[in-house]
Structure 1
């Protein structure tokens, strides 16, 4: 505290002086707690209280005690929506047009949320709130997620006082890549011991709240609870999935009919709502074989169990708040970040890394895995027929700007602040409206500056006006949408949609909005057609032109331009990296797990791994360097005092080379050399074959063929660790001994990648956009 800020009196002695303490920042006396719960990839028609076929009693209870909105909109993608929820600004205004992994060097697209767009956490921390985040973040630039930072876009750099969760788009529910505050931590237990990430996150949320409330019970909290469910992998203990045995045997076509009927019964959609047209990408259920139906139904059972399990963890948090007397004065908001996900493709997947690497999955192999889906051995995702059903009554899904991609559940409960109970609201609400609504409920104005940074205007509109008045005219009357080249615009009950296939370059002619023939816009009157089932563009050409022009005007305001429909080229854009490209990467034991985007890339190139070791009397064992996961990767390790190298081909096969003789005692340099012996066939899921040679010093001690290697990526849950296999063991050989730490001393490990590499940009782009 500076001398000129002291308001007491300082004399020569204490008797001549008057002490003074600065006044503590306190929230307004009647300020509520705020609990924002963000579900992941949960569609409009999947929660029970929205007509879904899955039991979600805790969220349903919140709806009974509060309000459900049937016109809540998101951006159609994860990170962009979350940026809106946290800042009250549009996703392009936040530079988060997509996810940071596909950033480009333009203001709306660079993946760095400006500090002048302050987050709700930053606002409330300065207003005397405790601020906590548990779960998925995915708002840090891709190049800044390693221990090298910078940390200003990590949760603790954006106003949260405590954080426990993961930085990326998804993670394994049994072996997650966990961050506690600003450092990595190991999961506190194993799958065999009953660990599951969502349960862990709920318990941490309770602990964070309890830690403060028992010391300062009058201090309100803002808790941002984001389980990461139900994003892939769909993983849940078997008993939760088994509850739904047989419940989805009717298939996705009949499921859509049932869900719509439930929605009408609940009043969540108008009585005259039609199902949107059949999705041409989805096969009719009755056209599938019995084996396909059996497998796909089980995949949906697993998803259903995953969602109900998540609801149960939400229930634990709500029960705790009720137990400590805080629930009635907590503004609880439950949303999903986008429509249901179609990233499982037409047939679903037991491990999405097969898909990313163009490795075909056979029905026979997947049927063999069926009974274990949801467990720790698989990284599964249901087929997109269930996605389509999950977005009932709308068409399409996540990543597209039809309502199937942008319309999501919104449940609001605040017993002491909202008198209405169990009612439905039809006013248009967008993700950018959450921040101004929370601020109005608390009774504070948006700050002019945060941390010395002048703030930009909030672009959302509070929807608190609708809490007690179902018939109040909506205040958010115009909203643009843009996602990966697809566009839409909402204005006064009308919605125009311009679909665009991902990865298709756009020309000036393609973007023409001056004639109906060239523009490709569809038009829907949502006052009469809630589900966007009937395109009336040909009947109202003047309205199409009006809305198309309005879209361009809104795009100009919010950094949407230049409109970018590229796929491969967008991936190939130069962007900041965590370090300068180099031929040698040096790693040390005891450091943090290095995320995939920051780790050395060895695929499809000659490379070597050299380790400086100290071998004690009696020999050693353990991991020297591991990169990947159960879904694919490699490991240089020691077992029975013999140097070994294993290449795990996308979780399907393992190829191992073992030294002929044991490691000698004392100081020793060991080396693995990989020499490519052929060309990759990336389109067919085959990386370069090669020969692996192992060395003790200059003496070769082993040689073996690696007939096929991972072609494109180690996978979303991959990473590199030195001296241990940090998370999800790369090989079955020591999986039951994870992390299989090295028992000798490692001075350093050097990976040389001076050989050329090969990339498959189309497949890499598909991998990146599924990290939402």
Structure 2
């Protein structure tokens, strides 16, 4: 077995001969072999989040993307590059070169279950390319969104083997969850939870911070390891919800979307065709009848819907500018010519999870029924349309804009069945090796093809053993053959897709698709989904080599071909642990009681515990519980005793001017406030917050009672609770509120730390 089959490489033996004494020994310089060619390229992967192919101006969209255009114009573009239709699965596949179910990532990490294809943990038998490149001599760093660590492993206690630094990245700065506030993110550096370096009032924004930190890392690399190539993975939190951006960026798009999403699609479709990005015969696909037309939007709601898209567009342009800053520095440091850049516009299509347009995007995930009027009314209380994009809200656009952002295709995020959910543009630049060519590369490729491409250009044979663990074979196919030849015959012959029952199979120019049980833009749980089986689904058939956008279903005309394609899907599904089909729905729909959560039923906290991710924290907002706080109350007592969640939704207990207060913020739509009518006594005290469930069903009402040293200090009734969680990235804080301020009462004073002493906080479930 050659040395490159097994990693890490064995230590280099001494070249000296040791004698009994120094005088009798013969010294020779130990020369450690270089494992890489002298011209091994630096590698930069840029991955934008939840961004469809119909958005960037580079390819006909109306969001200005000068940096994407710069990479494309200096290299080549791929117009049939594909993702998995969902965050964690794409990232796992992209970084390992394997199919996502095969490595336990059939859905996002937070919905993991015990089926092999949905376990939510990348096995060590699928070493990330960062691990392999590091062993060969690359410096490795990751920035931004990770979303490949099991949710229960994201506290400050770890374990850390599934964090980026446990998977080959020597440096990491970003967030572990699937999303983050762009103003008050829960950040990690290495394995340490760290606060953002500035506040929103001081001009903080996460996309800028990630670019700043990556630039700083490049400076260190240049100074300390100039003889080593680098591998950098820069994965933004944009364009995932919440859509957060400063007003001046959103204002750049004022009035540009006034005629709605249907008209936007028409414009982008024709422009993409004129630019040669899609072929002349490509057809614009119709809107799904279950999605609203712009003409159906009441006139009084349209300013709200337009502004949501303006904010999203500003958010997207802003992140492209940050990528530009990073590439500028790569060039300024002299790395530009020999840096291979992959700029991938989206880990899936645009997201319709904002459904009808929202000021707090997790309303949809919690299945809470609302009307647009409710969102607008709550927004008016906060300051009107200008508040959209600010730290005060967690807004996300109408699904119609996501559909428009995936022009000219039918799908969007979470639809593995249709392009638009899985087809994302990619630009590749490598001045030392790739001659700029405007001809789109139209070979069918997949995100698992990046790793074998990197291995080929660097000269690495995929290892068979890494750290003593035999490795699964690489599933992807190198794309390097397309670098110089836009007309080369494609080499990826077969690729399956599946997310939450939505599925497809590509084989030799054909695609068979089954939409699945769940239109992601339709609020609530689809009727009958609890009894759904994949056998109920109607399959469609498309000849993609002749039908670019899946415009013509040929299932009725070619039943034998469809049967063959379905059989191919069955074979691929069996090989890749896809079964049971729809396994990603197991927890979400069939067993919500099995969702990933902490195994504990009681906790004892000291007064300095902060940044405990909500997935790992006690479920104070939807379970019967008792919080007991032993504290010392000072004169003029002020501050937060505890807070769970953030500005877009959460609950908090705090003291204001010596008065005990509690607030349950139901995603900005309603707030239950309890305020004592008397001041707390100065000195030692025991405060208890008891939460009862008179109707213990998901989303049911809660009764909350506050006592101090056994005396009642206030009661309240929460009519509707959050059945799932308040936030995908915010946390539980004791003695302060480090994330978004849950209560407007202390928003101007956040993080509003308690000015007394908290000795102990006990939390236990009551049932």
2:352 aligned residue (342, 347, 359): 342
Q: Distance in 1 between matches of 2:10 and 2:542?
A: 61
Aligned counterpart, 1:758: none
Aligned counterpart, 2:377: 365
Cα 1:4/1:136, change in 2 over 3 Å: closer
1:407 aligned residue (405, 408, 423): 423
Q: Is the 8 A contact 1:603 1:687 kept in 2?
A: no
1:55-78 per-position Cα deviation (integer Å, ceiling 9, x unaligned):
101111111011111111111111
SS at match of 1:539: coil
TM-superposed deviation, 1:182:
0.7
Q: Distance in 1 between matches of 2:71 and 2:550?
A: 28
Q: Report the TM-score when normalising by structure 2.
A: 0.92
Q: Which 5+ residue runs of structure 1 have no aligned equivalent?
A: 513-517, 756-772
1:727-766 per-position Cα deviation (integer Å, ceiling 9, x unaligned):
11221222222222223332220012223xxxxxxxxxxx
Cα 1:237/1:580, change in 2 over 3 Å: closer
What is the Cα-based RMSD across aligned positions, in Å?
A: 2.4
TM-superposed deviation, 1:361:
3.9
Aligned counterpart, 1:741: 753
2:490 aligned residue (462, 470, 474): 474
Q: Distance in 2 between matches of 1:644 and 1:689?
A: 16
1:582-634 per-position Cα deviation (integer Å, ceiling 9, x unaligned):
2x221223334111111111335543211222345x45432222212112322
TM-superposed deviation, 1:9:
3.1
Aligned counterpart, 1:732: 744
1:347-386 per-position Cα deviation (integer Å, ceiling 9, x unaligned):
2111123433515244342673322211111111111111
Aligned counterpart, 2:764: 752
Aligned counterpart, 1:544: 562
Aligned counterpart, 1:163: 172
Query: After alignment, is 104-113 or 279-288 more displaced?
Result: 279-288
Aligned 1:276-291 pairs, distance under 5 A: 276-291=285-300
Q: Report the TM-score when normalising by structure 1.
A: 0.91
Cα 1:331/1:366, change in 2 over 3 Å: farther
Query: After alignment, is 308-317 or 328-337 more displaced?
Result: 328-337
Establish whether residue 328 from structure 1 lines up as the match of residue 337 from structure 2: yes
Q: Is the 8 A contact 2:357 2:372 kept in 1?
A: no
Q: Distance in 1 between matches of 2:678 and 2:745?
A: 18
TM-superposed deviation, 1:451:
1.8
Aligned counterpart, 2:667: 650
Q: Is the 8 A contact 1:466 1:472 kept in 2?
A: yes
Q: Distance in 2 between matches of 1:110 and 1:76?
A: 18
The count of corresponding residues between Structure 1 and Structure 2 is 739
Aligned counterpart, 2:208: 199
Q: Distance in 2 between matches of 1:353 and 1:519?
A: 28
Q: Is the 8 A contact 2:588 2:595 kept in 1?
A: no
Q: Is the 8 A contact 1:132 1:160 kept in 2?
A: yes
Cα 1:46/1:670, change in 2 over 3 Å: same
Q: Distance in 2 between matches of 1:702 and 1:417?
A: 72
Aligned 1:231-630 pairs, distance under 5 A: 231-335=240-344, 336-345=346-355, 347-355=356-364, 356=366, 358-363=368-373, 364-365=376-377, 368=380, 369-400=384-415, 401-502=417-518, 511=534, 520-564=538-582, 566=585, 572=591, 580-582=599-601, 584-615=602-633, 618=635, 620-630=637-647
TM-superposed deviation, 1:505:
5.4
Q: Is the 8 A contact 1:102 1:571 kept in 2?
A: no
Query: After alignment, is 629-638 or 204-213 more displaced?
Result: 629-638
1:422-461 per-position Cα deviation (integer Å, ceiling 9, x unaligned):
3311101101100000111112211222222221110100
Q: Is the 8 A contact 2:687 2:706 kept in 1?
A: no
Cα 1:7/1:344, change in 2 over 3 Å: same
SS at match of 2:679: coil
TM-superposed deviation, 1:575:
6.1
Establish whether residue 17 from structure 1 lines up as the match of residue 17 from structure 2: no
Q: Distance in 1 between matches of 2:301 and 2:659?
A: 45
Aligned counterpart, 1:38: 47
SS at match of 2:351: coil
SS at match of 2:279: coil
Query: After alignment, is 597-606 or 224-233 more displaced?
Result: 597-606
TM-superposed deviation, 1:260:
0.8
Aligned counterpart, 1:66: 75
TM-superposed deviation, 1:147:
2.4
